[in-house]
Amino acid sequence: MPQDFARDESLFPRRETLFEQVSSRIAALIHQGKWKPGEMLPNEVELAQMFSVSQGTMRRALKMLVDTGVLIRRQGRGTFVSEFSHNENLVYNRYIRLFPDSSRDDSSPTRTDLILFETVSAPDMVLDALHLPVGTQVIHAARVLCASSGLVTYDELWAVAKDFTLMTEQNLRRHDEKMLYAYYQKTCGVTITRCDEAIKAVLMPEELCRQYGLRSPLPVIEIRRTAYTYGDRPVEFHLQRSVTDRYHYKAS
């Protein structure tokens, strides 16, 4: 039986459209510092002339970058490079989907404690998620998010050390930003452009139940999130275990 080559996408990789190519080129220029966070880009006409494309192509290229969070449109003002610390609600709504079951519930996290900070060789789970060679050094940190009712989330991250050279235990512990991604951009110089998530129901590890006075077995939502920077390069892996008795994950 002849092989169905038409079904093998690896033999015929999809070619980028012109607007996708332009979008990638603009993102690369932002990464190189041509336009900095908070800075306004030239208008569509000027950008179209700069890249020798039609205004329609440029509009679609910019929309791609707006949709991924690299750019932000401000009505009546123009298009700006996203500055997460000044648009935290927008960023928060894009990436955070764990909510209390009731808006009247007082169980929302009120305190975040950093309990671990170290530089280690990336474990297999992180090597796979970030496509790293064996032996790559990563920053490993663990935090707990607590409310008046107790532990809400046990949160671990692994960040590629060569990309996060400005991350320290002190500035991670004391940052003022509502979201880690705003802290990454402002303090560490790393802009997160998109994330992939995988979610499953698991049991909280018994050692964590004992440590935080939780009943065991305890069902939790486990969220594994891979974060990408410019060039669609994965640079950070997140593992969150969140208590489910008062919380739910909003899919969209």
Q: What is the pLDDT of residue 252?
A: 62
CA gap 103, 198 in Å, rounded: 26
How big is the CA angle at 162 (ends 157 and 168), to the nearest 5 degrees?
55
| Backbone phi and psi for residue 144, each to the nearest 5 degrees, phi listed first | -120, 135
- Does the global pTM surpass 0.75? yes
pLDDT band for 107, please (50, 70, 90 cuts). low
**What is the C-alpha to C-alpha distance for residues 40 and 51, in angstroms, rounded to an integer?**
17
CB 222, CB 200: distance < 8 Å: yes
The residue with greater pLDDT, 132 or 99, is: 132
**Domain coordinates of the chain in residue numbers?**
5-82, 96-249
Higher pLDDT, 13 or 73: 73
Question: Which of 53-67, 103-117, 135-149, 185-199 has the least mean pLDDT?
Answer: 103-117
- Euclidean distance between CA atoms 89 and 182, whole angstroms: 11
> Per CATH, which fold does 96-249 belong to?
Chorismate lyase (3.40.1410)
Fold of the CATH domain 5-82:
Arc Repressor Mutant, subunit A (1.10.10)
The pLDDT of 97-126, averaged and rounded, is 80
Residue 108 binned pLDDT confidence (cut-offs 50, 70, 90): low
pLDDT tens digits, one per residue of 7-66 = 454 555 557 899 999 998 998 898 888 998 889 999 999 999 999 999 999 999 999 888
Find, among 105, 123, 139, the residue nearest to 236 by Cα: 139
Give the pLDDT score at 16: 80
- 118 has which bridge partners? 140
Strands (E), 136-177: 137-147, 150-160
pLDDT at 92: 61
- Give yes or no for a contact between 32 and 58, defined as CB atoms under 8 angstroms apart: no
